[in-house]
Amino acid sequence: ILYVSLHRYDEGNFFPGSGAPNEVGSGLGEGYNINIAWTGGLDPPMGDVEYLTAFRTVIMPAANEFDPEFVLVSAGFDAVEGHDPPLGGYKVTAKCFGHLTKQLLKLADGRVVLALEGGHDLTAICDASEACINALLGNELEPLPEDIVHQIPNTNAIASLKKTTEIQSKYWKSVEPYSVPVDCALAETQKREREETETVSAMASLSVDVEQGFPQGGSR
C-alpha cells in the first residue's frame, strides 16, 4: 500500500502534530508513506497553485511508478476556502479538488473510490463534493482561472516540496530533488509537456512516412 497525505503541519505545531516529511514508514513499509507536510502557517495560506504543484511534482509521479490496482481517497475538505484558521485556514477552491480528482482517474484504469472524510464548513464540503463527483462522472469541469495557471507556488510551499522530494527521492525514481522544478510557474510546465507531446507526435508521423516510402517486395 502506498499512503500519501497533504496536510497543514507547521513543523508539528498544527493539530495533531504528526505527519512529518521524514515519517516514511518502517520495516517492509519503509518508503511507502509520503507526507507533503505544509509549513509556514497562513503567511500566506496554501491554495490551488500549491496543491496542483504537489500533485504534479510528487503525488502523480510516485503514484504512476507504484502503479496501483485501485485508489482509495479519504476525501477530507479542511483545506477548502471557508474554514477559519484554527480549522485549517487554507484557500483551495472546490473546483481545484475536482481537477485533482480528474488527475487521480488516470491511475488504476480509473478505479477510484472517494469516501467523505472531513471538513467543518457545510458549504465548502458540499461544493467540493460536487466538484469531485462531477470529475468521477466524467463531466466537463469548469476551467481554473487563467491567473492560477501563471502563478508560482509560495515560498513556504516550495520549501515544503523540496524537503519532501529530497526525502522521497531515496525511494522513488520518479521523484528526484529538483528534477521537477517545483518553483516554476505551472504554465511553463504545461508548455513543456505540450512541446514534448508535439515532438513525439511529429516523430511518430515521420516514422510512418518513411516506412510507406520504402518499395515493397524483392525490390526493397
Each residue's pLDDT tens digit, 163-210: 999 999 999 999 977 444 544 556 555 666 676 777 777 777 776 665
Number of other residues whose CB lies within 10 A of the CB of residue 169: 15
Question: Which of 111-115, 132-136, 172-176 is least confident?
Answer: 172-176
Q: How far apart are CA 101 and CA 119, in angstroms?
A: 17
pLDDT value of residue 180: 43
pLDDT value of residue 186: 61
pLDDT value of residue 185: 54
Q: What is the mean pLDDT of residues 26-35?
A: 97
Q: What is the mean pLDDT of residues 134-139?
A: 97
Does the structure show a pLDDT above 60 at 54?
Answer: yes
Does the structure show a pLDDT above 50 at 76?
Answer: yes
pLDDT value of residue 220: 37
pLDDT value of residue 36: 97
Q: What is the mean pLDDT of residues 67-72?
A: 98
The residues, ordered by sequence, that sit 6+ positions from 32 with a Cβ below 8 Å of its Cβ are: 1, 2, 3, 24, 25, 171
| Rounded-to-5 percentages of helix, strand, coil across the chain | 50, 15, 40
Question: Which of 45-54, 73-82, 128-137, 146-155 is least confident?
Answer: 146-155
- pTM value is 0.80
Q: Which grid coordinates belong to 77?
A: 475538505
Q: What is the mean pLDDT of residues 10-34?
A: 96
Does the structure show a pLDDT above 60 at 137?
Answer: yes
